[in-house]
Chain A
Amino acid sequence: MVAIERGSLWVLAAAMALGLPGAALAGKANDTLVYASDSEPENISPYHNNVREGVIIARHAWETLVHRNPKTGAYEPYLATSWTWVDPVTLDLDLRKGVTFHDGSPFTADDVVFTFNYVLTPEAKVVTKQNVSWMASTEKLDDYKVRIKLKGPFPAALEYLAGPTPIFPAAYFKKVGLDGFAKAPVGTGPYRITSVDSGKGVKLEKSKTYWKGSPLGDVAIGKLEFRVIPDGDTRMAELMTGGVDWIWRVPTDQAKQLESVPNVTVLAAETMRVGFLQFDAIGRSDSNTPLKNEKVRQAISHAIDRKAMVDNLVRGGARVMNSACFIDQTGCTDEGVPRYAYDPAKAKALLAEAGYPNGFDIEFYAYRERDYAEAVIGYLRAVGIRAKLNYLKYGALRELNRAGKVPIYYQTWGSFSVGDASAFTGVWFKGDEDDMSRDASIKALLDKADTTIDLAERKKTYQEALSAIAAKAYLFPLFSYSTNYAFSSDLAFAAQPDEMPRFYAARWK
């Protein structure tokens, strides 16, 4: 406990009068880029969280076998120097020599074999199983060559190897276990994690041993610091005063205003994240829920003016989505997929047909962009559906939904920045924990599409599955997201549509 004596108060008063900046370690002068966001990964191990903040850290501290060039979309060598498909379910990869982990140990085939086999075990409790479940096993061919056996043909394999499948150091991980790894993680990436404080943030430092010639290019900024600041206004105030250098997801209203603040640059860019409504179509939350009725779900879909939401609330390059995926993902299409035009009269008629002429009361859940959720609730109210908002933290909502207690919610999905439709539909429609409709026929279609090698055939099958999803209104896609980035004008930063800030490519002006 701190004793309050006259002396210390005088020090405080002096600090106030002199306007001491405190420990402002942010900025160009200290070569430290401080970035802030609202949530933090529950576990820093990339396989053990599914929040975007975790993905950002993963892409800076770890590396994957394949690199996808964000500009061209081409797959380039990364930890693997080359690869060949032996057959549709066998992939051989040659590994890069001379790469070392941050703890000094060399990267070899053992690390790849360990990582991929470990994440497939049930004990690993990987959070997003779809990211790895396409693999059957991985074996070592020699010290720098591995073979991945697939469960079935999976055309998106390289996309996944370029994203949510970083390589862990086998020996170190075995020694410290997952808990130890979460506290002191080790990877091969351009930045080394120097400290992890739960609830506060993560500090990273440029790795001195990072290999030359990486497709990431030369890393310019010496230190990164991730700060968890739960309150959006506090984040904005920190940016305006130079306490942090970079924030994102600034609400559009504020972003417009921030543009007028000196020394702050604002950037709006569309992302792969899609906002959508999902319904308890099989009555897990309540066996009599109106949402079991297809007509009710369709009525809801007709009740919401997505264009008005995009034009007035989301803005900045967002688009209305009509399919249960992000439109630019491979395999995603909205051609021939049933659409729901904004038509409140029709919505009311459908509700009456379904036996709810006076609407009904329902609990509505959301975890982010409260304004969007409230706008949806406002539209629902206009057709007679009285929804009450329950606003939870992401983890709590995920658990609640997995326990089958959510009748309807506003959800978003950024597909782990994977540019393939399977990264979206696989999570929400293949019978796993997050699948609220659990329709076997749709799962069968998706299974087929995910494993079809022929691109045209694959697209056709996705189109069929997406049409079925839309026809039954299991999931009502709203729009793609636009993210507003705001950062110090000292910083040269470029945004990419995959919602993955690349600080390794940023530099000070």
Chain B
Amino acid sequence: MTAPAPSSALAPAAALEAVPPRRSPTARFLRRAGRNPSFMIGATVLAIIVAMALFAPLITAYDPYDQDIARRLIPPVWHAKGSWEHWLGTDKLGRDYFARLVYGARISLLIGIATVVVSGLIGTALGVAGGYFGGRVDMAIGYVVNVRLALPVVLIALAAAALVGSSLETVILVLGLLLWDRFAVVARSATMQVAHADYIAAARAIGCSTRRIVLSEVMPNILNPLIVVATLEMAHAILLEAALSFLGLGVQPPLPSWGLMIAEGKQFMFFSAWVIAIPGVALASLVLAINLLGDGLRDVTAPENRS
């Protein structure tokens, strides 16, 4: 469903194109980024959403949990019956919709970031180990990746949430434990490419420890493609959370997450479409921004001749 390109070895993970030259100067990065429209649009939208999340209490005076069921389902201001008091209207329990949206940004971003941190750590560790050591280690890790890919994500996530009870923590943990495959595949290929580079051989020759080589020589050189994967997986995680909420096993109400707001607004789809459209547009912009940023990043960090 929401799964984009599979990260099987068959689909050449696009991020692989982006093996960067060593330590590109920040200035050059910024210059190239400034000329990349998709990077700029993505970064701007994402910055706005992050600012919303960080400064939520300053942006709205309403408490996202305060309900007033006598004043429920007030339409947004552009409607004939709307008013500036609740400019995005109120939800089915009379909670200020803008406040829920603003605080919901926190939850959605938290899910996206935390999931990517968990899955990124797992995937990168596996991928780097496989790529660096090769041989049997690589085979074993490739096998683990295959097992993971064979498990249907939504089904396993639902079953796991049903087993341990659904909550914000469960969603993050379950998605984090499931969405690491692409990190592993990309980290592995990128590591393999640098593992045979001269400077690695040199580091080995002067007796650097494996840990040191991996952390200070390999990691910086595979970071860029991993960041691209991270943006894609972040969008993926946020969408999956929405799907889990729709199926009744996502974040627990009354927490305001965008996915949950869409899932709950669904019942107003036919007659009061704004209830689902507002968080829907917000979520779509967030996912879009992250995707654009990822695409832009890929172009910006790619070697000169590729872009």
Contact = CB atoms under 8 A, between A and B. Distances in A.
Given A236-B270, A237-B270, A253 B73 contact: yes
A236 B248 CA distance: 19
B32 interface: no
Nearest to A389: B253
B93 A374 contact: yes
A378 interface: yes
Given A233-B267, A233-B269, A378-B93, A390 B252 contact: yes
Nearest to A373: B253
A375 B69 contact: yes
B305 to A, nearest CB: 40
B65 A378 contact: yes
A254 B269 CA distance: 10
A312 B69 contact: yes
Given A390-B165, A390-B166, A381 B271 contact: no
Contacts of B70: 308, 311-312
Nearest to A309: B69
Contacts of A308: 69-70
Interface size of A as a range: 20 to 34
A178 interface: no
Contact of A371 (B93, B165, B271): B93
B167 interface: yes
B269 A312 contact: no
A375 B95 CA distance: 10
Interface size of B as a range: 20 to 34
Contacts of B267: 232-233, 251, 253-254
Interface in A382-422: 382, 388-391
B93 A389 contact: no
A17 B252 CA distance: 43
A375 B67 contact: yes
Contacts of A378: 65-67, 69, 93, 95, 254
Contacts of A196: none
Contacts of A388: 167, 252-253, 255
B65 A381 contact: yes
A377 B270 contact: no
A79 to B, nearest CB: 42
B300 to A, nearest CB: 40
A390 B167 CA distance: 9
A263 B95 CA distance: 34
A388 B168 CA distance: 11
Interface string B253-289: 1110000000010111111100000000000000000
Q: Which of B65, B165, B269, B270 has the most C-beta atoms of chain A within 10 angstroms of its own C-beta?
A: B270
16 contacts: A233-B266, A251-B267, A253-B271, A253-B272, A254-B270, A305-B69, A308-B69, A308-B70, A311-B70, A374-B254, A377-B253, A377-B254, A378-B93, A382-B67, A388-B255, A389-B253
The 9 A-B residue pairs with the shortest CB-CB distance, nearest first, are A378-B67, A257-B271, A389-B253, A388-B252, A312-B69, A374-B253, A389-B252, A308-B69, A381-B65
Given A233-B269, A251-B267, A379-B67, 6 more contacts: A232-B267, A233-B270, A236-B270, A312-B69, A370-B264, A389-B254
